[in-house]
Chain A
Amino acid sequence: MSTEPAAPPGVPQPAPLRTAASPASQALALMAVLVALVAVAARLGSPMWFAAPATALLLGIVIGLAIDLRRWFAAVPGAAAALTTLVVLSVAWAVAGTSAEVATSYAPVPLVALAVFGADWRWVERLRPTTVASGVVLVVPLIGEGDDTALLPLPFAWSAVAAAALWSLRRDDQRAVPAPVPLDGAAGAPREPGAGRTALAVAASWLAAGIVIALLGLVPLYFEAPVVTGRLGSDGRVITPGPGAVVPGDGDEGGSGGGDRGPGGGGPGDTVGGGTGRDVDGDGIPDRDIDGDGIPDVDLDGDGIPDVDADGDGVPDDPAGATTDPGGSAAGGGSAGAGGGGTTRLVDDREGVRTVLRVLGVAVVGLLVAALVAVGVRALVRAVARRRALAARPWAVRLAERLEDEGARRGRARRRDEPVTGYARALADGVLAHDRLEEVGAALSAALFGPGPPSAPTAEWATRVVDEAVAANPPPSRRARRRRR
C-alpha cells in the first residue's frame, strides 16, 4: 500500500496509493496552516486564536511522527478521525455540561480534534488537500468586519507558502516514481550540458511568477478603490469613498459658514448615490454617509474634505487641525445634526494601494533575496560536493590533472594521444624543467594503469617533485603571453 520501501529502480511501477512526504513538505504544509491561523488571530485580535490551535496541531504532528500510526491512518484519514473525535467529544461535553454543576469549557474539544488531525501528517496524499483546505481557514477571517490593512499581506503569504508546499509535495511524488538505472553507474542521473542553469532558471521563473501574481493582485484593489470616482481635495489628497461616502464639490460653495445641519436641514433633497441623498452643506453634491451611522458626513470648513470626528464627541473635526466644535472657532462651526453622531471618515484612497505596494515591495525583495540565497546555497552545496568528489579521487588522477593544468598554463597542453609518460618527459625538457619529472610520469603511469596503487611515499615524492618543478618554472605573465603571440 505504501511506497516504503521504495520501488525497485528501473522498473516502471503503477502510481502508489500513498507516498511518504519529506520533512520539508511536512513543514511547509504546517506553515500554510499556521499562516491561515495567523489570519484568524489577527481578525479576532487575540493571539490565543493562533497559539492554541497551532500548539494542538503541532502536538498532534509530533505524536504522529514519533509514534508510527500509519496502520490506523491508512484506513481512516486524519480528517475523518478528527471529525469523529469532534463529534464524540462534543456529545460528551454536552452530557457532562448537563450533569455537572460546574460548566466546563468547550475549547479543549476542537483542540483535541485538531491534534488528532495533525497526527496524520505523513503522506503526500493527506498533506496536499490539507494545504489547499487551509485556504478556507484563511478566507473566513478575510470577510470579517474591521481594518483589513494588517491582513493584506496574508493572502500573498499564504499563497506563497501553499505554493511552496505543493511544489515540495509534488517533488515527493516524483521521487516515489522509479527512475532508469544510469548506465554509467553514477548515483544520480547524468546531466546534460548547461543543465546547471536550471536551478537559476527555476528560481528566476518563480520570482517572475511571484511578481506577476503580485501585480495582478492589485487589479481587484483598483477595481474596488474609488480613485476613479473620487476627487482631489484642497490638500491634494484623494477623498475616498466607501459605501455612501461624500464626494465633495469642486468649489467650496456652501463650505464656509455652511454649517452642518441635522437631518431635515436645508439642503437640496439629492437622491443620488448611496448615501443619505441630501445635500446638507449645500455644496451641490449629495452628502453621503461614510461611516454608515445614518448621518451625512459633510464638509464644514469648505476645504473640500469631509470633516472627521476624531475625538468621537459627535462633532466633526477639520482634518487640517481646526476642530469644529459647537461654538468653536472654526468657520461655519455649526453643530452636528440630530443624533449628534455625525462621524466623518477621511480616507486617503491611495493609502491602501500604497500599503499593498509596500507589502508587495517587501515581498518581492524578500522573494528576490530568498531566490538568491537559494541559488547561492545550492551553488555552495554543489561546490562543496564537487570539491569533495575531486578530493576523493586517487592521487594519481589529481596529480596528472595538475600536471596538465600547469603545462597548459605554460603553453604546453597535453595532446589527446599523448601518454602521461611522454607528456611528463616533454614538460621536463621544456616548460617545467626538472630532472625528476620524467620519473614522476612513470610513477603516474604505473599508478594509473598498473596492477596496484603505489606506496604512499611514492605519491608524496611525486607530489613534491611537481611542486618543485612548478615553483622553479613560474608561468609566464599575461603580458609575456601576449607578447609571445
Chain B
Amino acid sequence: MAKMVLWSAMKGRVLLNGQPAAGAVLVRNYSWHWKNEKGADQTVANAAGEFSFPAIEGRSLLGFLPHEPVIEQVMTIEYQGKSYDAWAYFKRDYNHNDENKGQPINVTCRLDVPRALHGGISGLCEFN
C-alpha cells in the first residue's frame, strides 16, 4: 500500500512580538477528500517557542485507483487565550513537502502580524 502523505512533517517557531510563544498549542486539522476522512493532531511549543510535527500519513485499500488528491489543511495556534488562524492550504498530492515545493518545512509563525499568503500557505507561518 503506497504511503499517502496528508500533511508533511514540519518544524518551526512561534513568536509574539518577537518573543518565543512558550506553551503555545498548535493544532493541525485535515480533511482528506478521497476517504472523506477528517483528523487532527497537536503539539506544544517549548520555552524557545519551537515546535515540530511528524508527517501525517493516510492509508487506503483503494488508494491505488487514480484520483485527484485533495487534502484540506488548517492549523490554528492557541496562545494566551487567543486563537490564531495560522495555516490554510489545499495539498494536491501525496508527496512529502508538497506544501513547500518539495523542500523540508521549517517555518516561523508570527502571531502579531496580519495573515498573508506565504507561498501557497494562507496565514501567519512563513517558510524560513
Q: Do A and B come from one complex?
A: no
Partner-A contacts on B (CB < 8 A): none
